[in-house]
């Protein structure tokens, strides 16, 4: 059985990263757009944030979600990540489980995550941009992907490339669980966010069916 990170472990790591960065709870709250009480509850393991909320927090703290997994679990990583060894994190808000597939201490400049959305699950309240290009591949079930003003119904075998800065929201509106793979470069290996398209701007994209 793969190890699942508990909320208090995640909260402790958020606090550790925040202190190392030299910022207060209020500063982290302001930079992520959350309330100070939410950040405090997160650090105390009292809340289970959405996927997009965890992405925002990781970005402000200078790590990716994938890097966060290994550091929070005190893992060393390797070139081979066994299915039973990879780290997983549950998101109660998103009704999802995120699994890290990458060997983060290897020289590879790529990061992979496996996301399982249960029935009714969604990545966040609203579409949210990511600063890196993302490639996603649907492994199981049916997903609704909102990209800017458009919605796409994606099924098993469908793939999509999401451009930097493009607003996206994943939803599982079906009755069965859905699973998809996301591959992207680490935060520090990609162009700076200021070069990304403006939020909400409609940009060319490619969906493969």
CB 160 within 8 A of CB 145: yes
Instruction: Identify the pLDDT of residue 12.
Output: 87
Q: Compute the average pLDDT of residues 139-151.
A: 96
Angstrom distance (rounded) from CA 202 to CA 166: 8
CA distances from 99 to 21, 120, 135, 190, 205 (A): 26, 19, 16, 22, 26
CB 132 within 8 A of CB 163: no
- Band (pLDDT 50/70/90 cuts) for residue 150 is very high
- Which tokens in the block code for residue 72? 């929070």
Give CA 198 to chain center in angstroms. Answer: 20
pLDDT, tens digit (0-9, with 9 covering 90-100), for 155-186: 999 999 999 999 999 999 999 999 999 998 86
CB 131 within 8 A of CB 196: yes
- Band (pLDDT 50/70/90 cuts) for residue 86 is confident
Q: Compute the average pLDDT of residues 40-45.
A: 90
Instruction: Identify the pLDDT of residue 10.
Output: 81
Instruction: Identify the pLDDT of residue 80.
Output: 72
The length of the chain in residues reads 209
Instruction: Identify the pLDDT of residue 102.
Output: 74
Dihedral angle at the C-alpha atoms of 182, 62, 108, 133, nearest 10 degrees? 40
Instruction: Identify the pLDDT of residue 185.
Output: 82
The residue with greater pLDDT, 45 or 146, is 146
Domains and CATH numbers, the chain: 4-208 (2.60.120.10)
CB 32 within 8 A of CB 60: yes
Quote the percentage of the chain above a pLDDT of 70: 77
List 160's β-bridge partners, or say none: 136, 207
Q: Compute the average pLDDT of residues 88-97.
A: 88
pTM for the predicted model, two decimal places: 0.73
- Band (pLDDT 50/70/90 cuts) for residue 70 is low
E-strand spans in the chain?
4-5, 88-91, 96-100, 111-117, 134-140, 142-147, 150-155, 159-162, 168-171, 178-184, 206-208
Q: Which of 61-65, 78-82, 111-115 has maximum average pLDDT?
A: 111-115
Range from 10-14, 38-42, 69-73, 74-78 carrying the lowest mean pLDDT: 74-78
CA distances from 89 to 65, 150, 209 (A): 10, 29, 29
């Amino acid at each position: 059985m793969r190890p699942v990170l508990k909320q208090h472990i995640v909260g402790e790591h958020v606090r550790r990263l925040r202190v190392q960065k030299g910022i207060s709870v209020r500063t982290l709250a302001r930079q992520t757009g959350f309330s100070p009480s939410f950040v405090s509850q997160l650090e105390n393991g009292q809340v289970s944030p959405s996927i997009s909320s965890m992405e925002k927090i990781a970005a402000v703290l200078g790590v990716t979600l994938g890097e966060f997994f290994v550091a929070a679990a005190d893992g060393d990583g390797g070139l081979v990540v066994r299915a039973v060894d990879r780290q997983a994190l549950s998101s109660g808000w998103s009704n999802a489980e995120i699994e890290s597939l990458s060997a983060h201490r290897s020289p590879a400049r790529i990061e992979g995550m496996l996301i399982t959305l249960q029935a009714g699950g969604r990545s966040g309240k609203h579409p949210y941009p990511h600063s890196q290009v993302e490639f996603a591949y649907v492994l199981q079930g049916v997903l609704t992907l909102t990209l800017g003003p458009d919605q796409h119904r994606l099924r098993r075998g469908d793939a999509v490339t999401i451009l930097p800065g493009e607003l996206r929201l994943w939803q599982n509106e079906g009755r069965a669980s859905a699973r998809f793979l996301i591959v992207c470069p680490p935060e520090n290996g990609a162009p700076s966010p200021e070069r990304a398209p403006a939020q909400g701007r409609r940009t060319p994209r490619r969906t493969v069916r």
